[in-house]
Structures are given as structure tokens and as C-alpha cells.
Amino acid sequence: MSSLTAEQFIATMKSLQSDQERQKIRRYFKAAGADNEVIGVRMKHIFDTAKRSKDMPLDQVEQLLDSPYYEGRVGAVSILDFKARGRKLTDADRRALYEIYLGKHDRINNWDLVDRSAPRVVGCYLVDKPRNVLYELARSTDIWRRRTAIVATWYFVFYDDDFTDALEIAEILLKDQEELINKAVGTTLRYVGDHDRQALLSFLDQHAHDLPRVALRYAIEKLEPEQRNHYLTLGK
């Protein structure tokens, strides 16, 4: 099957619509509004359609990101992610994906859109480059840009055993007021601990008293009970 256009992708989504799924998605979709419509399609169907459309031209991916439909934007970031997994991509190819992501960040307006694509589209591109942009994003007033900053570091942690930016950006976001940032910070710290337990413990020894409770609980999830209790007594 040849890759779909943006218009055909949306038509496919509408053919898979479910009222039950629509209500389910609306319960957790955080960006309500006239420009954030929900069709009601199971994630499996969106991802499968995106995978079949991984060769979609980039101008069509941008058009899909501009869609008012949540499913269209999930499809668009999924296509970016599938493209970023290509083994024969040039640096210019990766830069094009990265630039679409950042250039259309106002359309990446829910936690799952960030998590679906930031590690490979942003993190992978920056793995051998200066990462100043992540620090700029971490200080943004926009929650989704801040989430991109921390989630993009997952690539460095997973594939490079590089924790420096993950820990420094976690420190910047230490006292963030948004729960979805707290959860992302805690998850990132847990991932660091999966690769280097001492790096996690050192961070917690210094910052546990400032971490929001939800971030702390995520971060210590895999520690031994005694260690978890110790850090919980230090936390807020």
C-alpha cells in the first residue's frame, strides 16, 4: 500500500471512528478547544496507519500536524518517529524532521504527542550536537515545550548512557508546578537509575527535599524498600 496523503489519512481515521473511543480520548486529552477536535480512533489503528504512511512527504506531514483533529496530529508525530528510525537517514534528513517538530511545536500540544516523537526526532538529532535548545525549551512558559526538553533526553540515556543533560534539565524543572512535568522528571530520573543507580542516588541525595511528591515517587519506584522510605522522608 502506498503512503497516504494528509487528507487521505484523516479520511481513514474517520472511517475507523468509534463513539466509545471518542469519549475515552476526551477524558485524558488536555488541550480542549475548537482547534482540538477528537474523531475517536483506537491508538493501534492510528499507529498502524502511520506506519503504513512512513514515506509520506514532509509537506504532507506538516499539513497533518496542522489538522484540527487530535488523531491527525498523533499520526503526524508517529510518522516523524517512524521516519527517524530509518537506518539510512543522513544528517540533513534528521535535521528536516527536527525542524518540523520544533517549527510546529504549537501543534504538539498534549503529553502523548511529545512522548511519541521527542526522543528520536529531537534527541537523536542532537546526540552529536550542542543541546542549548533543550535548555531554552526547559525554561519556556509552555508546558509542552518544557516536556519536550526533558523527554528528548531519554534518547541520550537509553542509547548513549549519557545522563548529563537529563539530570541538568531535571534540576531546572525541579519545582515546576505542572504535574505532567513532575511525572516526566520522575520518569527520567528512574530511567537514569536503570542505567546508573549511583547517578540517581546522588541526584536524590541533593534534591529529594525539593522534588514534588509525584516526581519523587516515580523516581524511586525501582529502589529497595528501605531506600524508597528514606527518600520519601526527605521529600515534600
Question: Cα separations (Å) of 148 from 82, 164, 224?
Answer: 18, 16, 30
What's the pLDDT score for residue 72?
97
Contacts of 138 (CB under 8 A, 6+ apart): 146, 149, 150, 169, 172, 173
Q: What is the dihedral of CA 43, 49, 51, 57, to 10 degrees?
A: -130
Contacts of 155 (CB under 8 A, 6+ apart): 119, 120, 122, 123, 124, 127
For 37, the 3-state DSSP assignment is: strand
The length of the chain in residues reads 236
> Are 97 and 84 spatial neighbours (Cβ–Cβ below 8 Å)?
yes
| Domain chopping of the chain, boundaries | 1-127, 130-236
Q: State the 10-residue block means of pLDDT for the chain, 236 residues long.
A: 85 96 83 73 96 96 96 97 95 98 95 97 97 98 97 96 97 95 98 97 96 96 95 84
Cα 183 from Cα 203, distance rounded (Å): 16
- In sequence order, the β-bridge partners of residue 69 are 37
CATH number of 130-236: 1.25.10.90
Phi, psi of 102 (to 5 degrees): -70, -35
User: Tens digit of pLDDT for each residue in 135-153?
Assistant: 999 999 999 999 999 999 9
Name the one residue in this structure whose C-alpha cell is 492510528. 46
- ∠ CA 192-196-198 to the nearest 5 degrees? 110
What's the pLDDT score for residue 35?
63
User: Tens digit of pLDDT for each residue in 169-215?
Assistant: 999 999 999 999 999 999 999 999 999 999 999 999 999 999 999 99
> Are 114 and 151 spatial neighbours (Cβ–Cβ below 8 Å)?
yes
